[in-house]
Amino acid sequence: MGQDHEVTSTSRAERAVDVEAAITAGGVLPVVVLDTAADADPLAAALTAGGLHTVEVTFRTDAAADAIAALSARSDLLVGAGTVLTPAQVDRAVSVGARFVVSPGFSPTVVRHCQELGLPVFPGVSSATEIQMALDAGLTTVKFFPAEQLGGIAMIRALAAPFRSVRFIPTGGVHAGNLATYLAHPAVLAVGGTWLAPSDLITAGNWREVTTRTSAAVATVHESRTRSHATA
Ligand SMILES: O=C(O)C(=O)C[C@H](O)[C@H](O)COP(=O)(O)O
């Protein structure tokens, strides 16, 4: 029994690391709002063609669960659920195959529920107090939301100074023009945002533009990491 428990916790920890490693490797986490699950496959094709293999599908539409189910069935994509506000949504997300959960804010109830399920969770924080709440809950990787509105990279610099173990996924107001500024900070694990696949492009079925934006973001991640290795 005790041994079973140990095995389970180890595999959970490994799963969590896998997810974080995949998000880190991508450098950019596309956030999408899907109105129909029919868009799932072309979206996945567009993102993977551009070089990204992670996606966060927000629980903001009725189609979210079906879309997560369709995307999770693919072997080339790691799919998480975003805008998760309640434990019931966590359960729904898990039941359709979501591998991680993202919230706009810090909910101790949502975080605890994810931890009980062994599901990686990245709650949003917007202040030093919320970071301490995350640390108290045993988390060191958090979403920083809404990043630009909170002061952008200057705020991350200020927060990263005392919280040396914390890694951030800044999201909100990030785009091709300011992506590199965020990626340059060592406390930034990856950056999230809707600019790669915004609702207007999805509705128009403009998958080519989604791939173009994704490739550009991937190139920026690559340049940024090459530069930081060169200066390390
Ligand atoms: O609700 C959540 O869990 C979210 O994920 C919020 C989104 O991350 C932001 O709405 C993205 O902001 P933009 O990239 O500026 O469009």
Q: Quick one: what percent of the chain has pLDDT higher than 70? A: 92
Distance of CA 227 to the CA centre of its chain: 23
Q: How confident is the model at residue 4 (pLDDT cuts 50, 70, 90)?
A: very low
Residue 223 pLDDT > 80, yes or no?
yes
Q: Which long-range contacts (CB under 8 A, 24 or more apart) does 199-205 make?
A: 199/33, 199/35, 202/32, 202/33, 202/34, 202/35, 202/39, 202/43, 203/35, 205/39, 205/42
Which tokens belong to 147? 């990043």
Residue 5 pLDDT > 50, yes or no?
no
Average pLDDT over all residues of the chain: 93
Residue 2 pLDDT > 90, yes or no?
no
For the segment 82-93, the average pLDDT, to the nearest whole number, is 97
Mutational pocket test of ligand 1: of 29, 59, 145, 169, the residue with most ligand atoms within 8 Å of the beta carbon = 145
Q: 172 C-alpha to center of ligand 1: Å? A: 5
130 noted as active-site residue: no
Any atom of ligand 1 within 6 Å of the Cβ of 211: no
Q: Given the structure tokens 């989604």, which residue do they identify?
A: 210
Q: Determine the Cα–Cα distance for residues 226 and 169; give it in Å rounded to an integer.
A: 20
Give me the pLDDT at residue 151, please: 98
Q: How confident is the model at residue 230 (pLDDT cuts 50, 70, 90)?
A: confident
Residue 8 pLDDT > 70, yes or no?
no
Any atom of ligand 1 within 6 Å of the Cβ of 102: yes
Report pLDDT digits (tens) over 110-144.
Answer: 999 999 999 999 999 999 999 999 999 999 999 99
Report pLDDT digits (tens) over 155-205.
Answer: 999 999 999 999 999 999 999 999 999 999 999 999 999 999 999 999 999
Any atom of ligand 1 within 6 Å of the Cβ of 30: no
143 noted as active-site residue: yes
Q: Determine the Cα–Cα distance for residues 77 and 179; give it in Å rounded to an integer.
A: 22
Report pLDDT digits (tens) over 91-103.
Answer: 999 999 999 999 9
Atom of ligand 1 nearest to the CA of 148: 15
14-18, 27-31, 142-146, 218-222: lowest mean pLDDT where? 14-18
Q: Given the structure tokens 């029919």, which residue do they identify?
A: 38
**Contact present, 19 and 78 (Cβ < 8 Å):** yes
Residue 3 pLDDT > 70, yes or no?
no
